[in-house]
Structure 1
Amino acid sequence: MSEFREFLELPYAELEDLNLQAKEQRKKRVAADVIQEERLKYLTDEKRIKAVTVLFSDLEGRLHMLDYDKKFLVKSYDNLTFDGSSIRGFTAQRESDLRLGIDWSAFYWVPADVFGAGKVMVFGEVIDKNGTTYSADIRGVLKELSTELYKTQGYTLNAANEIEGFLFEGIDAERRYHETGAFEYVNKGGYYHSLPGDPLREFIDTTAEVQRAMGFENEKDHPEVAPSQFEINYSYGEVVAAADQIQLYKLICRQVATQMGMTASFLPKPVVGVNGSGMHTNVSITKNGKNIFWDPKGEEKISKLAWQFTDRILTHGNDLCLLLNASVNAYRRLDPHFEAPNQLKASAVDRGSMIRIPIGNEKSARVEVRSVGPDANPYLVLYSIFKTGLHGETAKIKNLRQAERYLPDNVYTALENFRAAEWTTKLLGADVKGRYADLKQASADRCPRLLGTIVKAPEVQFHHDVYNQLLWNIF
């Protein structure tokens, strides 16, 4: 810190206290205007903050960040406009102006050594010209669903995600894949195995520290089955906060890896011949503080509602596959040779089932959707799972939960199912559904139709997390 620059830098323990207090306000649904007033006063009074980073996600789930000067934001927070035509899946050029609202409840204090001194973060809400939630901002759509179910049914939607990723040598491993044709492991240890001080363990430890400081409430972290693979688990949260944390988790991993001279990759299957990465999505619903997925007398100790929820997701499993497995590369992961959750079944024990019913108790009873890739838009994943589980249809298939049905093994079949399904039109509306399908089609059409046995350069280069205009135009 220069003697001339007195920018905010807080110890990790203090960051954790501040973030946990904010999280508690969010959990208790403190009125938006109360939180707004509190945050604006804090920003005004805290002279050491120079900028506020506002985060939002596009239709594919790519995270975007805008830094606003703190003084400007305090004065103009209710009139922040941006050019939506530059964001894939957002508006056409002729109607490009969108407004960015601030979700003051989703406010984070961040470690200065990772994100820079004098900065705080907050999630934004994309607002259409008429003042309503923009239909392609799925975070806003998910928030509306969550709020409506709380008001009308007293439901709180909960989610916890187990997000796996790989750590590779070099800071631009994905962007340079078309030159190198390979990813280089930083560690060749096995499941739960890495020595203290090796690069993978150091990366996991640092990332876990940052998450803890940002109020994630960590549970456990460890190397995964494949070489250089990791998973860092944290506690469940209300659905919008849970989706925000997925975006922050990936951002933190990428930032820490870059600072260490490496790449954190969330491609579902960046290397063939070893296990891919998943994002197992655990969901439950509480009402009046009670988990209504729990029933000690129910089959597998979950309630009739939880089973109905499960049956609806199995019914629409193929309709939703493109939302849960959003890239060409994701279909390499749905390979039955590697514990792939590609069977449209529900089981307490079979890890090849799309849905698993984990052992639970009154607090932890839940439904686990295992077929989700870590590169999917987390807001779309959670919106489609909860909306389908509560409002979808139930197929009249004999023995639905154990029928011999499978998820697609390629993106083209998933695209056909998605486009043809009436349910996905009800879920997203025809306009947003069409935009999403067209984006996925454009990426797929730039990749070889058959996956084959090696990861092709285009499936990395046209991956939505890697995408940039320069690379897109090279190919």
Structure 2
Amino acid sequence: MDKQRDFVLRTIEERGVKFIRLWFTDVVGTLKSVALAPAEVEGAFSEGVGIDGSAIEGLTRAFEADVLAHPDPATFQILPWRGEVDPTARMFCDITTPDGQPAVADPRNVLKRALAKAADRGFTFYTHPEIEFYLLKSSKLKNGRPVPVDSAGYFDNVPGGTAHDFRRRSVRMLEDLGISVEFSHHEAGPGQNEIDLRYADALATADNIMTFRTVIKEVAIEQGVYATFMPKPFSEHPGSGMHTHVSLFEGDTNAFFDAGGQYQLSQIGRQFVAGVLRHAPEITAVTNQFVNSYKRLWGGDEAPSYVTWGHNNRSALVRVPLYKPGKGQSARIEYRGIDSAANPYLAYALLLAAGLKGIEEGYELPPEADADVFDMTSAERRALGYEALPSSLDRALLIMEESELVAETLGEQVFNYVLLNKRREWSGYRAQVTPFELEANLEAL
């Protein structure tokens, strides 16, 4: 840690860094920032920086508002979009109480607690997200609708197109920040793009996702367009998911790999999947935390709506890919439920907790779904025991409220705040009279 701190202080001096942004995340997943002068960084490392936690949604209760932000020197990066005029860097922070205890409502700490629990069992949790988003001409609506930057489709090559230049610039900026990109391509919707980050431990991935969203927004501004991670901005086009490939390692060994297992998935891997499936409805209010999230889940277009698993089944909630048969290090599962607007710290903590519960309790993996679940009738799905994911934020909150797993993993304060915040959102949504209702009912009734 001292070497990392020394490196940060030396780099600030050598590169002439004028501002250091201390980044942290509220419970909803909004990135927060405090700018620090270079002379204050050494003190921030040793003592932290005092912030008023009551001003941050969900971070503290009003009567314990004083918290400290401790920058993590391992996350130091110079922000490339700031250029050489007044160079600016950032570091992610851990939030503590004044007596040095981790703040119970710090989302980064929620994930660190879950990772520590996995480490106690000898596991390291790796994640690899595929992040989808839409590029729009602006944030303004035209005739009540957003306007995409193009009309291209899945994997289309658009020479000279906005999205092509945008992805190239974004990938270069992410690489400058030390975030490795595996793939980038146009997605199925007009103006929809996907950029996949290379696998890393879950804490680094969550930090990278928060940085990624900022980079995408900054590049969009630079290029005169607008980027949105809204789960379902168009009713007739696919939503934006954040399919995440996950694996557990025991030291250098992939605990999900078994050369003789079905799809080369080990018993630990099968139990992990069983845990994720059993607890999926309970964690959906976090992995899909907005009213709009349920338009994606129940809007078709390969978004999963039922608690199933499969191999090459794109309608399944959990997919077990087999990209490199016999290569044990690449064994993993893909959770397809998370959308691009989720708080990655909380979502990954719950995904890990659900999988570990399956391992601890020895859950049995149900039979594989080898047919398209959407093509089945309701009776067929019932006969096969395929449980539906929550159909609305309201339903997801009712299920989450009864979940011991979610309450224990998030901690009492975060658990209660998520429920309070999201109930408020649902109440506001429910009170609306929508254009659909007016068009369908006003003249007919």
TM range (shorter): 0.7 to 0.9
Deviation at 1:39, TM superposition (A): 2.2
The 1:396/1:82 distance shift into structure 2, 3 A limit, reads closer
Write the deviation string for residues 170-219 of structure 1: whole angstroms up to 9, x where unpaired.
Answer: 2xx1xx55x96310111111111142221111111111111121122222
Q: Which residue of 1 aligns with 2:23?
A: 55
Structure 2, unaligned runs of 5 or more: 370-384, 439-445
**SS where residue 401 of structure 2 aligns?**
helix
Q: Which residue of 2 aligns with 1:375?
A: 341
Q: Which residue of 2 aligns with 1:256?
A: 219
Correspondence for 1:223 among 163, 186, 196: 186
Write the deviation string for residues 322-351 of structure 1: whole angstroms up to 9, x where unpaired.
Answer: 011010000000125321211101111221
Structure 1, unaligned runs of 5 or more: 1-31, 457-475
Q: Which residue of 1 aligns with 2:73?
A: 104
Q: For residue 389 of structure 1, what is the amino acid of its counterpart?
A: G
* Matched residues, number: 418
The 1:108/1:419 distance shift into structure 2, 3 A limit, reads same
Deviation at 1:431, TM superposition (A): 2.7
The 1:395/1:115 distance shift into structure 2, 3 A limit, reads farther
Deviation at 1:320, TM superposition (A): 0.6
Deviation at 1:129, TM superposition (A): 2.9
The 1:450/1:284 distance shift into structure 2, 3 A limit, reads farther
Deviation at 1:123, TM superposition (A): 0.6
Deviation at 1:246, TM superposition (A): 0.7
Distance in 2 (alpha carbons) for counterparts of 1:263 and 1:115? 24
Please say if residues 110 and 409 of structure 2, whose CA atoms lie closer than 8 Å, have aligned partners that are also in contact. no
Q: Which residue of 2 aligns with 1:64?
A: 32
Please say if residues 149 and 162 of structure 2, whose CA atoms lie closer than 8 Å, have aligned partners that are also in contact. yes
Residue 431 (structure 2) pairs with residue 431 (structure 1): no
**SS where residue 254 of structure 1 aligns?**
helix
Please say if residues 89 and 435 of structure 1, whose CA atoms lie closer than 8 Å, have aligned partners that are also in contact. yes
Q: Which residue of 1 aligns with 2:392?
A: 410
**SS where residue 73 of structure 2 aligns?**
strand
Residue 232 (structure 2) pairs with residue 269 (structure 1): yes
Residue 317 (structure 2) pairs with residue 349 (structure 1): no
Deviation at 1:362, TM superposition (A): 1.3
Q: Which residue of 2 aligns with 1:122?
A: 91
Write the deviation string for residues 209-260 of structure 1: whole angstroms up to 9, x where unpaired.
Answer: 1112112222221110010000112210011001111111111000110122
Q: Which residue of 1 aligns with 2:375?
A: none
Distance in 2 (alpha carbons) for counterparts of 1:228 and 1:114? 27
Distance in 1 (alpha carbons) for counterparts of 2:395 and 2:44? 46
Deviation at 1:114, TM superposition (A): 6.0
Distance in 1 (alpha carbons) for counterparts of 2:431 and 2:314? 28
Correspondence for 2:5 among 36, 41, 48: 36
Deviation at 1:394, TM superposition (A): 5.8
Q: For residue 223 of structure 1, what is the amino acid of its counterpart?
A: H
Please say if residues 274 and 366 of structure 2, whose CA atoms lie closer than 8 Å, have aligned partners that are also in contact. no
Deviation at 1:37, TM superposition (A): 3.3
**SS where residue 201 of structure 1 aligns?**
helix
**When the two structures are superposed, what TM-score results if normalisation uses the length of structure 1?**
0.83
Please say if residues 267 and 375 of structure 1, whose CA atoms lie closer than 8 Å, have aligned partners that are also in contact. yes
Distance in 2 (alpha carbons) for counterparts of 1:288 and 1:309? 18
Please say if residues 353 and 405 of structure 2, whose CA atoms lie closer than 8 Å, have aligned partners that are also in contact. no
**SS where residue 280 of structure 1 aligns?**
strand
Correspondence for 1:186 among 145, 149, 156: 149
Distance in 1 (alpha carbons) for counterparts of 2:365 and 2:246? 25
Correspondence for 1:290 among 246, 253, 269: 253
Q: For residue 88 of structure 1, what is the amino acid of its counterpart?
A: E
Q: Which residue of 2 aligns with 1:75?
A: 43
Distance in 1 (alpha carbons) for counterparts of 2:15 and 2:176? 22
Correspondence for 2:244 among 262, 273, 281: 281
Q: For residue 143 of structure 1, what is the amino acid of its counterpart?
A: K
The 1:160/1:399 distance shift into structure 2, 3 A limit, reads closer
Distance in 1 (alpha carbons) for counterparts of 2:283 and 2:437? 24
Please say if residues 112 and 118 of structure 1, whose CA atoms lie closer than 8 Å, have aligned partners that are also in contact. no
Q: Which residue of 2 aligns with 1:320?
A: 283
Q: Which residue of 2 aligns with 1:195?
A: 158
Deviation at 1:436, TM superposition (A): 0.8
Identity across aligned pairs (percent)? 27
Deviation at 1:451, TM superposition (A): 11
Write the deviation string for residues 100-137 of structure 1: whole angstroms up to 9, x where unpaired.
Answer: 01111112132145696411111111112331111111
Distance in 2 (alpha carbons) for counterparts of 1:267 and 1:327? 9
Please say if residues 346 and 357 of structure 1, whose CA atoms lie closer than 8 Å, have aligned partners that are also in contact. yes
Please say if residues 153 and 189 of structure 2, whose CA atoms lie closer than 8 Å, have aligned partners that are also in contact. yes
Please say if residues 324 and 373 of structure 1, whose CA atoms lie closer than 8 Å, have aligned partners that are also in contact. yes
**SS where residue 152 of structure 2 aligns?**
coil
Distance in 2 (alpha carbons) for counterparts of 1:90 and 1:120? 24
Q: For residue 50 of structure 1, what is the amino acid of its counterpart?
A: K
The 1:396/1:195 distance shift into structure 2, 3 A limit, reads closer
